[in-house]
A = this chain, B = another copy of it.
Amino acid sequence: MDKNPSAALLVIGNEVLSGRTQDANIKFLATRLGEIGIPLREVRVIPDDRAVIVRTVNEVRAAFDHVFTTGGIGPTHDDITSECIAEAFGVPWEPHPEAWPKMEASYKPGEFNAARQRMATMPRGATLIENKVSNAPGFSIGNVHVMAGVPRIMQAMFEALAPTLAGGRPVVSRTVHGTGLLEGRIAAPLAAIQARHPGLDIGSYPFYRQSGNGVAIVAKGTEAAEAEAAIAEATAMIREFGIEPMQGEPPA
């Protein structure tokens, strides 16, 4: 997986840090980025604070191939992502030549007020990300992709953006689980399977169900055949503990 481009996600907004809102964007983006071969390597959730946003954007855009941001691009005073991205890149924050006339035309005369004009104001050089759900677009500048925080708008923006990104090999995942399995018993043989497949990430995840507790073993990587080989070994290992292995994730 190391040859794939890498991604970081910045979730920008006080509402996740205060516990008001359950984040719903990390799982979607983690899954989709794996599918297009740009695996997510780090997420940071940060507040609507100018200094923190500017510093964090500059840290992560230097460290990862792609940075995705969600949140803070609406019209209100706490929506400061766009101007912070301009500051991070050291470029003017100005009316976007394409977004401004498009958004202006979408409002009745007099309704394209100062707050809405902010949503058409972007870092110089930004490329728009289409928004099929509402009328304010996202944008990309350099390797930073700026999207809405509302999940269905973010998802529409991501799907508009994804075909333009040069992805790598899709990350695939294979799973086997066993009810009654204990992590403390399988640790040594599982470590041996991981050691035989250094190109994979092999993880073990306890589950707790009314139907019984157990452990799921997940092999992840860009080589489907290798993931399948590792899961075949894990399947045999589970059987050696006298437990019937079940392919796939445990039932919900």
| Residues of chain A at the chain B interface (Cβ within 8 Å) | 11, 13-23, 26-32, 34, 39-48, 52, 74-78, 111, 113-116, 118-119, 150, 152, 171, 173, 183-188, 190-191, 194, 201-206, 208, 218, 220
| Nearest 4 CB-CB pairings of A with B | A115-B187, A19-B31, A19-B30, A43-B45
B20:A218 contact, CB within 8 angstroms:
yes
Whole-angstrom distance between the Cβ of A182 and the nearest chain B Cβ = 9
B75:A184 contact, CB within 8 angstroms:
yes
- The 8 listed contacts between A and B (C-beta, < 8 Å) are A18-B34, A23-B26, A26-B45, A74-B183, A74-B206, A76-B183, A113-B188, A116-B184
Chain B contacts of A183 at CB under 8 A?
Answer: 74-76, 115
CA distance in complex: A116, B184 (Å): 6
Task: Say whether, besides A19-B27, A30-B19, A77 and B187 are in contact (CB < 8 Å).
Answer: yes
How many copies make up the complex?
2
Task: Say whether, besides A78-B202, A190-B77, A203-B78, A17 and B43 are in contact (CB < 8 Å).
Answer: yes
Chain B contacts of A171 at CB under 8 A?
Answer: 18
Select one of B16, B39, B111, B220 contacting A30, CB under 8 A: B16
Give the residue among A75, A76, A188 with the most B Cβ atoms within 10 A: A76
Task: Say whether, besides A116-B184, A186-B76, A202-B78, A26 and B16 are in contact (CB < 8 Å).
Answer: yes
Apart from A17-B41, A77-B187, what 7 extra A-B contacts exist at CB < 8 Å? A13-B203, A19-B28, A43-B44, A74-B183, A76-B190, A115-B184, A119-B184
B21:A205 contact, CB within 8 angstroms:
yes
Whole-angstrom distance between the Cβ of A192 and the nearest chain B Cβ = 9
Task: Say whether, besides A22-B27, A42-B46, A44-B44, A14 and B203 are in contact (CB < 8 Å).
Answer: yes
CA distance in complex: A166, B13 (Å): 26
B41:A47 contact, CB within 8 angstroms:
yes
Chain B contacts of A188 at CB under 8 A?
Answer: 113-115
Chain B contacts of A152 at CB under 8 A?
Answer: 208
Closest to A45 in B: B43
Closest to A116 in B: B184
CA distance in complex: A52, B21 (Å): 27
B220:A14 contact, CB within 8 angstroms:
yes
A18:B30 contact, CB within 8 angstroms:
yes
Chain B contacts of A186 at CB under 8 A?
Answer: 76
